[in-house]
Structure 1
Amino acid sequence: MYILAIETTGPLGSVAITDGAGNCSLKISGEEMNHLKDLMPMAQQLMDEWKLAKSDLSAVAASIGPGSFTGIRIGVSTARAVAQALNLPAISVPTLDMFKQRCDGMSLIVPIFNARRGQVYGGVFDEAGDDILQSGPYLLTEVFEAVEAHLEDVRSEMPCGMLQAASVKFYGDGVDAYAQELADFKEKMLKLEGCRVLNAPKDERYQDAGMTARAAVKKYRNGELISADQLLPDYMRVTEAEQKLKDGSLARERAAKMARFKAR
């Protein structure tokens, strides 16, 4: 088994190859938002390093979002094109769920991607990787509330009423975008004795194709394969342009611009 995995939902695109036996090689773009230019050269470099022919590949996996709308489109369309050209099955990997790989049996895992204006794409996963708050679009405050409510429930079940070395780890670019809000939340959570709220270190904070590849191996073994045509992006919400088109404001904006232009 050899799976080619593509991840483009964040600023740095990446590509990985895995053999499903624990071996995985990763290449990450050196420039932000350079997905279109870098993806296929990085994939070819990995193929050459592994001495693989295109016919050796078993499937193509893509991190489908949420994240950067443009990045998601590029990554998914590239994976579809490769799968179609090589007549390979595709594997769809939800991006937030990839962070369940970080579960260590002791910490709550909370990935948050910046969706601006106090909003995030996020989820809250327990020590075993089960959903406390299912992946989706939320206000950041809703994510905080889910974490706090869960920890309060856990504390109430403790004989001494105190958490025992519980920790919460935040991942994703939302950690950077909402640094002050996270600092305030950490301060608030000091009331729960025994609980630590942490920002994941930068070298493991963000999504990459290695995570996509590992998730894809599990899906491959479970038979969760789809056709290239079935590989679709998951934006989790419509783009601003699509929303404007839907509610008619895009047409009104264009009409207003034309009126201003004609008035010159």
Structure 2
Amino acid sequence: MTFLLGIETATPLLSVAVVGPEGLRAERAASGERLHSVRLFPFLQELFSDAGICPRDLRGIAVSQGPGSFTGLRLGVITAKTIAQVLELPVVGVPTLLVLAAQLPNIGAPVCPVLTSRRGEVYAAVYAPGAFEPPPIVAPFAAAPEEVARKLAGFSQILLAGEGAWASQQIFTEVLGEKALFAPKLFNYPRAAVVAALGYYRMERGEGVSAFALLPEYLRSPAITGVSPA
């Protein structure tokens, strides 16, 4: 494989990146979820220019698969599928919470990435420490922050990361006390460079699929009726 495109639209931080055998080639990022649909395609054009490649140089596409913003996920997945269909490329979905966990420094404690959902809930999971693609200890789920904190009470120490962790910091601290560690806010959102890097290794393992097989992972149904999967 030569170059792989990574797309991250699941959170308020939009980012796109290209990676290759030597690592990161180029990345573009900007915050503001309501502007994702306006910025995404110009970002992709600028990204290819920055990387010094054209879309035909790609050998695959990785996209943040969820959970996250319903609108953002649909935009990212549909964009990845469209490019893949036009260029006849394989695609690979990468769990959004895994991306957030993978970009954190290893401090020897399990990692719990937390992103804000709707209806007073958050998305969370727990991953083992020490690997770039850490295995899940607790699979991604949606719940109230209080319930997430109770699920984490059995760990002797836990590294919480993501804007959802900081938004509910008081709850996690009250329930977990000194067990709760918080990653710097620099790591609040997943980045396309990590999406692309994880996708690159997954493609190398033969996990790429056709565009038609790729679906977002919402964890629960959209609040607005009539919304179908991408």
2:125 corresponds in structure 1 to: 123
1:232 corresponds in structure 2 to: 215
Query: Which secondary structure does the structure 1 equivalent of 2:53 belong to?
Result: coil
Aligned-pair CA distance for 1:30: 4.7
Matched, 1:178 2:162: no
Aligned-pair CA distance for 1:103: 5.8
Query: Which secondary structure does the structure 2 equivalent of 1:16 belong to?
Result: strand
Aligned length: 222
2:185 corresponds in structure 1 to: 202
| Larger RCO of the pair (alpha carbons < 8 Å, separation 6+) | 2
Q: 2: CA distance between counterparts of 1:20 and 1:52?
A: 14
2:81 corresponds in structure 1 to: 80
Residues 124 and 146 in structure 1, CA contact (< 8 A), matched pair in contact too: no
Q: What are the ranges of 5 or more consecutive residues in structure 2 without an aligned counterpart? A: none
Task: Give the counterpart letter for 1:149 in structure 2.
Answer: G
Task: Give the counterpart letter for 2:153 in structure 1.
Answer: E
Task: Give the counterpart letter for 1:206 in structure 2.
Answer: Y
Q: What are the ranges of 5 or more consecutive residues in structure 1 without an aligned counterpart? A: 152-166, 245-264
Offset from partner CA, 1:45-74 (integer Å, 9 cap, x none): 121122212211001111011111111111
Give me the identity figure in percent.
Answer: 32
Q: 1: CA distance between counterparts of 2:114 and 2:31?
A: 23
RMSD: 2.1
Which protein has the bigger strand share? 2
Aligned-pair CA distance for 1:216: 0.4
Residues 67 and 235 in structure 1, CA contact (< 8 A), matched pair in contact too: yes
Matched, 1:28 2:7: no
Task: Give the counterpart letter for 2:213 in structure 1.
Answer: Q
The residue correspondences of 1:138-153 to structure 2 (distance < 5 A) are: 138-151=143-156
1:108 corresponds in structure 2 to: 110
Aligned-pair CA distance for 1:217: 1.1
Task: Give the counterpart letter for 1:189 in structure 2.
Answer: G
Which protein has the bigger helix share? 1
1:49 corresponds in structure 2 to: 50
Aligned-pair CA distance for 1:199: 1.9
Larger Rg computed on CA atoms: 1
Residues 124 and 143 in structure 1, CA contact (< 8 A), matched pair in contact too: no
Task: Give the counterpart letter for 1:8 in structure 2.
Answer: T
**Compared CA separation, residues 100 and 178, structure 1 to 2 (3 A):** closer
Q: What is the TM-score of this pair, normalised by structure 1?
A: 0.77
Q: What is the TM-score of this pair, normalised by structure 2?
A: 0.88
Q: 1: CA distance between counterparts of 2:135 and 2:85?
A: 34
Query: Which secondary structure does the structure 2 equivalent of 1:238 belong to?
Result: coil
Offset from partner CA, 1:130-178 (integer Å, 9 cap, x none): 3221112233233222322132xxxxxxxxxxxxxxx422112212332
Residues 115 and 162 in structure 2, CA contact (< 8 A), matched pair in contact too: yes
1:40 corresponds in structure 2 to: 41
